[in-house]
Structure 1
Amino acid sequence: MSGTYTVVGGGAIGGTIAFHLAGAGHRVLIVDSDAAQVAAVRERGLTIRRADGTERNMRIPARTPDEVTEPLRDVLLAVKANATATAARWIAPRLAGDGFVVSLQNGLCEPEIAAAVGARRTVSAFVNLFADLVEPGVIADGGPGALVVGELDGTVSPRVRRFVADLQAWGPAVASGNVAGFLWSKLAYGAVAAASATSDDPVADTIERHPGLTVALAREVYAVAAAQGVTPESFDAWRADAFAKDAPPDLTRAALAGFCAWLRTQPKTRTGIWRDLAVRCRPTEVPAQYGPVLRLAEDHGLRCPGVEAVLRLIGELETGRRPMSRDNPAELERAVLGGDPGTAPGGNAGAALGGNPGEVHRGNPSEERDT
């Protein structure tokens, strides 16, 4: 039985999911506030461009928000985190009584959605897709990543099972009773990804040059997750256990090396945050993603100096007060490890790796390639 979905936010994530659901015979409507995106999809259809250069095109109905008049039932919310509240307020009066909203977003967006539509009509999801909206109506798709769906109360309901079954048209989506564990792990990695976006280098290069920074940022986020009672989950090649306070240094080094090796197999080498800063020249969703993390940290008496520094540098890049440079991740690493390392949650990340944290990824640092 085919479903009916309204995808609010037809960019990289929403457009990719909409494309595959429509291709499997589901009724799909894309709603996007970007008039150019809506016009392109209407005129030429939605195009998915593969890493090998091949393209597929599909006609999918698309509208701007003011063109939508009918009730919404099953909504897939795929806007940036900083647009969540506005989108949720728009959805709320239009959402059918038996409808629900799935958060296909980065960050902890579910509370904002639930505040607008009710917790009963809010479904949690973790998404790690390798896609970019490269021009109106065209998405560069790097292939399936990870997608996990579950209820806010940690159950797997019939509607979650139905949605996950429909998502098989896209890829290996699964249901879980611990979506929060995946979301917090994405936040741990996302802090590293945001740090990498302060330079023009691929994410893997930043991690290899600054493993101490990587470990410190991940541990800061995971410390807040632990205070919230969340058990982190691993995803793709990211190993949550490698960033535990008592993780053996060899495990942490091996996990970082494995993750970087995996990143280098992906066609998307830089983040959407980098694209917002370097290509689109617009504000990122980083403050909206990590503002809740910092507020929760404060509630639990924790400090996140690394995350705070990342937000500061991203803000300076957004406003043009700072250029994109390799000096920026180095500055972030000093902010976390250069002072009293014991103040960072999880202890001394550099010491946890053993020896010089700048040398954990290679036997000879001079072999590090320039990019």
Structure 2
Amino acid sequence: MTPSSTPRDYLVLGAGAIGGTLAHHLAAAGHPVTVVDTDAQHIAAIRAHGITVEHADGSRRAVPVARALTPQQAADAGLTTRRVLLATKGQDTETAMAWLAPRLADNGFVVSCQNGDNEPVIASFVGRERVVGAFVNIFADVVAPGVVRDGGAAAFVVGEVDGSQSERVTQTVADLQAWGPVRQTDNVQGYLWAKYGFGEILTATALVDAPMAHTIDRHRAVVAEVAREVNRIAIAEGRRLEAFDAYEPAAFLDGVAPEVTDAALDRLIAWLHTMPKDRSGVWRDIAVRGRRTEVHLDLDRYFRLADAHDLHTPLLRRLDLMLAELEEGVRDFDDANLTELGRATCLTAGSREPGR
């Protein structure tokens, strides 16, 4: 599949790291893009200068978009839309959809370009038939109003939630290839569940103010067990996990030989060393933006599913509490936090034998 040359209108709702990146590349490819975001300063900068992407080498490119609006400005303008890339934080999905639902055309659809399992929430507002799933592993950060720092190339797949093929997904994938190697899939849930395991590895590194690759290398046993707890839930839910980038979910399943898990960690660590972004979005939310991270929503969901399948999740539960303590300012970022986390299952932090 090659990038589309047919201009199509898009609404990007949430112009942060993911939404800003996608809006920039769609607009650069000639698609009329409207961005809507609650951050008035961010929107004002985009309206004045376009969306700027800053690369690791310091180079920048600003691209104008068709419209940059706050939700109130969009409502006042009578905005309606057909193609929506939803890129808000997970905890903001309900608020975003309550605003979007009456503005979505009858033949419109919403692509969930978010972290977490937000498709059911979206469907509750607009119906399952108008929801498209996506797995997005974009490493990026908003570093100033109107400016997104590129985080390097990573995996991005789009697919109907039920695994069927559709023209709307084919078109969306072709358009999004303006960003990079976006692919169509019939197993978007398999990618999403694989990402959940990978995501909780990165979440665990947020307990430390240090590069993700370095932290994972120092605490192999702990991060491997964090992924394993998520994967047990995925398997119980009947999901077929998909590998992506340098993450191999099959290496973090019960019964896998320790050397297989360790080799997979070697490859993951080496890949993370190549990425310009060296701290997780969870760490940035807490340490830089001083806000509650969206990962608690994911963890709450894992706990409900684990309870339904009679699965134990001691590391994930302890991780949830430790993140809350960081948010409340009663815990400091420290390498010792990973050692403490490992004690939830008596793991040795520096062990190079994470398999079971």
Classify the secondary structure of the residue corresponding to 2:57.
coil
- Of the three residues 148, 172, 181, the one matched with 2:190 is 181
Aligned residue identity for 2:352 = V
Matching of residues 147-166 of structure 1 within 5 Å: 147-166=156-175
Aligned residue identity for 2:68 = A
* Separation of aligned partners in 2, 1:72 and 1:293: 34
Asked whether 1:234 is paired with 2:240, we answer no
Counterpart of 1:47 in structure 2 is: 52
Counterpart of 2:27 in structure 1 is: 22
The Cα shift of 1:156 comes to: 2.4
- Of the three residues 50, 57, 60, the one matched with 2:62 is 57
The Cα shift of 1:329 comes to: 1.2
The Cα shift of 1:246 comes to: 1.8
Q: Is the 8 A contact 1:107 1:290 kept in 2?
A: no
Asked whether 1:290 is paired with 2:299, we answer yes
- Of the three residues 303, 307, 312, the one matched with 2:321 is 312
User: Structure 1 regions of 5+ residues with no counterpart?
Assistant: 339-349, 351-355, 362-371
* Separation of aligned partners in 2, 1:308 and 1:157: 39
Q: Which shifted more, 292-301 or 109-118? A: 292-301
Asked whether 1:328 is paired with 2:352, we answer no
User: Structure 2 regions of 5+ residues with no counterpart?
Assistant: 1-5
* Separation of aligned partners in 1, 2:163 and 2:306: 22
* Separation of aligned partners in 1, 2:100 and 2:110: 9
How many residues are treated as equivalent by the alignment? 344
Asked whether 1:219 is paired with 2:197, we answer no
Counterpart of 1:341 in structure 2 is: none
Aligned residue identity for 2:69 = R
Q: Is the 8 A contact 2:12 2:85 kept in 1?
A: yes
The Cα shift of 1:292 comes to: 1.5
Spell out, residue by residue over 1:75-120, the C-alpha distance to the aligned partner (whole angstroms, 9 max, x if none).
1000111111111111111111100000001111111111111100
Aligned residue identity for 1:259 = L
Spell out, residue by residue over 1:123-149, the C-alpha distance to the aligned partner (whole angstroms, 9 max, x if none).
000000111101110111023211010
Aligned residue identity for 1:140 = R
Asked whether 1:35 is paired with 2:40, we answer yes
TM-score by length of structure 2 reads 0.94
Asked whether 1:360 is paired with 2:338, we answer no
* Separation of aligned partners in 2, 1:226 and 1:241: 11
* Separation of aligned partners in 1, 2:271 and 2:152: 14
- Of the three residues 256, 278, 283, the one matched with 1:247 is 256
* Separation of aligned partners in 2, 1:118 and 1:297: 27
Classify the secondary structure of the residue corresponding to 1:280.
coil
The Cα shift of 1:289 comes to: 2.2
Counterpart of 1:346 in structure 2 is: none
The Cα shift of 1:357 comes to: 6.3
Q: Is the 8 A contact 2:342 2:349 kept in 1?
A: no
Aligned residue identity for 1:235 = F
